[in-house]
Amino acid sequence: MNRMHSHTSAALILISIGLFFAALPLNSLELRWGIDPDGSSGLLEFILAALPLAIGSFALARTFALHNLRHRAVQKTAAATRP
């Protein structure tokens, strides 16, 4: 597996984790483990959903942008070396 595929896979895993936490109800931690770290505000659940989504989206966009830049550079080099 090349580098682009591994970066894409990691980004998609992060996005999936974020979507998983986004699908949970706001009080899911309180109900499941009996803890209330955020005072029932839902902030912790929001962070657990938003952070992986943001990082995964950024990583995915960065991976494709770098791939496009490399692809264009190769095309320019190939076009410049043709007779």
Domain boundaries, position 42: 3-81
Q: Which residues contact 27 (CB under 8 A, 6 or more apart)?
A: 40, 42, 45
Structure tokens at 15: 């996005």
Residue 29 has pLDDT above 80, yes or no: no
- pTM of the predicted protein model: 0.75
Please state, in angstroms and rounded to a whole number, the distance separating the CA atoms of residues 36 and 23: 19
Whole-number Å distance between alpha carbons of 4 and 66: 9
Number of domains in the chain: 1
Is pLDDT at 67 greater than 70 in this prediction?
A: yes
